[in-house]
Chain A
Amino acid sequence: MRAYILKRIGLGLVVVLGVVLVTFVIARLVPGDPAVAWVGLHATPREIQQARHTLGLDRPLYAQIVTYVKGVASGNWGTSIHTKRPVLSDIGSRAAASLELVVTAMLLALALGIPLGLVSARWHGRLPDLLVRLGAVVGVSMPTFWMAMILQLVFFQRLGLLPVAGEYDPSVAYLNPLVLYTHVPVIDALLNGNWPMLQSSLTHLVMPAVVVAAYPMAVIARMVRASILDSLGEDHIRMVRALGFSERAVFGRFALKSTLNPVLAVTALVFAYSLASTFLVEAIFDWPGLGMYAADSIRSLDTPAIIGVTLLVALVYVGSNLIVDIAQAIIDPRIRLN
């Protein structure tokens, strides 16, 4: 067990090093002079020279690689050209909003995806199955940015049911100030017992969360369906059936268990994907998270910031995969032998 976990962590570290090197290579591909981007329009040659030195661009390549890797390891992820603040502190100040969105979306995806997958498998080949499968295909085929705009058109413009954008209504926040503990408005409002703010932040969360949840929900539903159908063919389920347990028990008590592992794995996978899809969604909903930061950075060719966010999402992905691998090994010892 310990040997397996150590091996997984070792492999994870190798991948992390590779990820860091890939981001360095991308950062080096930038055409033109990053120093010019740093100082902006109307700059004098002296200012550009100074910027080149500040950014370390006047040093040899290998030295820059070593500095870069060391920097990443020690929490120095460079300075954003756009905000002129350290990239990691920019990321820190925006992570809470993105986590709020992505975690809500994942919970939504699990809460709806698992039952849908169950329904689909229970009535395999019949109408409910067909509908769920079709729905899942729509979910994975939907351009997220388009879905966001269409929801805004329908639920805000036409029906007026939900607010169009933002994390909460600032005028509500002004009248009902929040004491910030977590910087996640929904949680802070709960901790404060601040009901108007809770309402405001929840209503603002609905549309973006649904958009981010569409893809993971479809993937999870498919995965649940596939793994249940798979396990229904297995011997122990046949045995359970033969013993005369009701269909409900077969599904709820036995088949469902077999989906735990694949659902865990796929959740880890789509978590990082959902973080990446916030790049498309947050700007449309004015959601002040990492995705909007990334979109801003792309617009201003803020390479350190783009690289920083890319690196972060990749690290989250490697990390969540590692955690799932270890969790699976603990739950299901057979995995270790694989």
Chain B
Amino acid sequence: MSEVAITTRSRGVARLARKNPLLAWGALVAAALIVVALAAPLIAPHPQDAGSTMHPAATLQSPSRAHPFGTDMYGRDELSRVVYGARVSLSVAGLVLIIAVAIGVPLGIAAGYFGGVVDNIIMRVTDVFLAFPALLLSLALVSVLGPSVRNAVLAISVTWWPWYTRLARGQAASVRGRQFIESCRALGVPRFRMLWRHVLPNSVTPLIVQVSLDAGGVILTAAALSFLGLGAQDPTPEWGLMVSQGQDFFTTQWWLVTFPGIAILITAMAFNLMGDGLREVLDPKRVLTR
């Protein structure tokens, strides 16, 4: 049964992607970005410039054939740094979403499945965390924890998990009332197994949609933190940090702000297009919450 379901679904996805060019483009660009991140050493013209190497004699050169995106205030090749920046942004987004799902989903399933007091407590806590705009809470957290990529990942995760709790809770609650769960319970299947076998698989589709929708938001938040000096630190080639470093020069050396900014925009767009398209295809009833 499952085999049939998968083949029909994948064929369906291909057809819908043709009908949905935005999804196709988003997925294509996102895939390309992942390739760029993985193959950064091969693509970047000066891979060592993404690290602590600097060239004080060649600072702030405008775009040329040797340096298509120009050089920064330490004389580093901006193109190489933008290319390596894909690694930073994508791994930050990946880590944040893994942590958020790992915290949020079990809590949500517990809330939805057990209901009652457990549900009440968990949901009030998520309400509290959802009362802070993501940027704001992570910003307050990192500003007291100290700036670093690690702390930025932690802080953004802290602001992101409640969304997954809500999502998983809804799924778990809807499954709970179904006939087969009641039968399993009557047959004496252990609770843990029941959750694992039946509740989790039902949450996968909306989870995929939510994760791809959120990737863009996480990348933007991380970039914003770095822009405020609260995320990655030099020499890490983080796009938000690069825009922030370029801010002092943007009227005289426009390329330092422009290129990393476009990189952020394209990456966030790719994931948003993909998430949006996936939602329409896989989970059309879900209304956008953010």
Bind each other: yes
Report which A residues bind B (CB closer than 8 A). 11, 14-15, 18-19, 21-23, 26-27, 29-31, 130, 133-134, 137-138, 140-146, 149-150, 153, 157, 219, 222-223, 226-227, 230, 262, 269, 272-273, 275-277, 279-280, 284, 295, 298-299, 301, 303, 306-307, 310, 313-314, 317-318
Whether the pair B135, A30 counts as a contact (CB closer than 8 A) is no
Min Cβ gap B144→A in Å is 5
10 extra interface residue pairs, beta carbon distance < 8 Å, beyond A18-B125, A23-B140, A143-B224: A137-B273, A140-B268, A142-B265, A142-B268, A143-B268, A227-B287, A280-B227, A284-B247, A313-B136, A317-B132
Min Cβ gap B117→A in Å is 14
Whether the pair B22, A280 counts as a contact (CB closer than 8 A) is no
Min Cβ gap A163→B in Å is 15
27 pairs, A vs B, C-beta closer than 8 Å: A14-B124, A15-B128, A21-B128, A26-B140, A26-B141, A29-B145, A137-B22, A141-B216, A141-B220, A142-B265, A145-B227, A149-B261, A153-B250, A153-B251, A219-B290, A227-B287, A262-B287, A269-B290, A276-B133, A280-B227, A298-B139, A306-B139, A310-B137, A310-B140, A314-B132, A317-B133, A318-B131
Min Cβ gap A24→B in Å is 12
Min Cβ gap A116→B in Å is 15
Q: A223-B288, A280-B224 are in contact. Are A19 and B143 (CB under 8 A)?
A: no
Min Cβ gap B224→A in Å is 6
Q: A143-B240, A145-B243 are in contact. Are A19 and B132 (CB under 8 A)?
A: yes
Q: Does B211 contact A (CB under 8 A)?
A: no
Q: A141-B220, A307-B140 are in contact. Are A31 and B133 (CB under 8 A)?
A: no
Looking at chain A's contact residues, the main secondary structure is helix
**Chain A hits for B244, CB < 8 A:** 145
Min Cβ gap A287→B in Å is 16
Task: For the complex, give the distance between the alpha carbons of A286 and B273 in Å.
Answer: 33
Min Cβ gap B78→A in Å is 15
Q: Does B254 contact A (CB under 8 A)?
A: yes
Q: Does B234 contact A (CB under 8 A)?
A: no
**Chain A hits for B125, CB < 8 A:** 18
Task: For the complex, give the distance between the alpha carbons of A219 and B140 in Å.
Answer: 25
Partner of B269, one of A138, A262, A276, A317: A138
When C-beta atoms are compared, the residue in chain A nearest to B266 turns out to be: A141
When C-beta atoms are compared, the residue in chain B nearest to A274 turns out to be: B133
Whether the pair B124, A146 counts as a contact (CB closer than 8 A) is no
Partner of B268, one of A21, A130, A141: A141
Task: For the complex, give the distance between the alpha carbons of A143 and B243 in Å.
Answer: 10
Name which of A143, A222, A279, A280 has the most chain B CB atoms within 10 A of its CB: A143
Whether the pair A15, B124 counts as a contact (CB closer than 8 A) is yes
